[in-house]
Amino acid sequence: MTTTAAVPNDVLRAVRIGLRMSQDDFAKAIRRAGAELGEPNEASKRLVQRWEAGDGTFSGMWLSRYEFYSSSRGETYEGKHYVVLVQHGNRLTAQSLPGASSNPDSPLTLDLTVDRNVVTGSWVEQTAADGYYNGARYHGAVQLLVEPTGRRMAGKWVGFGKDFDVNTGPWELRLVDRSTSKATLERYSSPPE
């Protein structure tokens, strides 16, 4: 296993200092913003210290959501999966949970590398054998930017279509639970709303 030393998040630190906020004040502002958005969080001074030191971890349960255009149906569709993401050094691997897809029996895997707030890698999705795409295997690349809180990644995917064309669309990962316990995996083994 290859590990890399933590890289300080100088941008986050500079923003916090530019706002003339202590780490504790910054954590309070994050908690307040989360409450206002209806997404409560437990940001603390220690968490801000870890973010600034580059010690954050991305392991946990995430909601993966992407959009794609179906040329044969002439419409844009959304794919959602609950994925368990595990971090080893600067490597991230994600695997959808059985039954945790908006498209039944359509497992998704991601193999990613993180460098500060940039996440780059590849994805593979095997469509359901009895579904619209008849068990087709799709794959491509993805590039995401991590928000300063480390709770959301957003960017674009690229992949190949059936007519030898290159397709692209938005992709987002949102943290739903830091735990990867058996109970958490069971709780999210159902299609996302």
- For 33-47, how does the pLDDT look when each residue is reduced to its tens digit (9 = 90+)? 889 988 788 888 988
pLDDT at 6: 66
Task: State how far Cα 85 lies from the chain centre.
Answer: 8
pLDDT at 2: 42
Q: Are the beta carbons of 79 and 68 closer than 8 angstroms?
A: yes
pLDDT at 5: 57
pLDDT at 170: 98
pLDDT at 1: 39
Q: Which of 137, 71, 87, 143 is nearest to 108 (CA)?
A: 137
Where exactly are the structural domains of the chain? 10-53, 60-187
Q: Are the beta carbons of 56 and 152 closer than 8 angstroms?
A: no
pLDDT at 122: 98
pLDDT at 3: 45
For the domain with range 60-187, which CATH number is right: 3.40.50, 3.30.1490, 2.40.128, 3.20.20?
A: 2.40.128
List of the chain residues with pLDDT < 70? 1-7, 56
Beta strands in the chain (DSSP E): 60-70, 75-88, 91-101, 108-115, 118-126, 137-146, 152-160, 166-177
